[in-house]
Amino acid sequence: MMHITVALPDDVAQEYYTASEKLKEFLELVQPPDAQTLMRFMLAGFTSDDITAHFDKVLRNITGAPMPNETDTWVFSPGFENTP
User: What tens digit of pLDDT does each residue of 20-29 get?
Assistant: 999 999 998 8
User: What tens digit of pLDDT does each residue of 35-66 get?
Assistant: 989 988 888 888 999 988 888 888 877 877 77
**Is the pLDDT assigned to residue 19 strictly greater than 80?**
yes
Nearest to 44 by CA among 13, 3, 11: 3
Q: How far is CA 64 from CA 45, 54, 69, 70, 75, in A?
A: 28, 15, 15, 13, 5
User: What pLDDT sits at residue 73?
Assistant: 52
- Residue 15 CA to residue 22 CA, distance in Å, equals 10
Band the pLDDT of 17: cuts 50, 70, 90.
very high
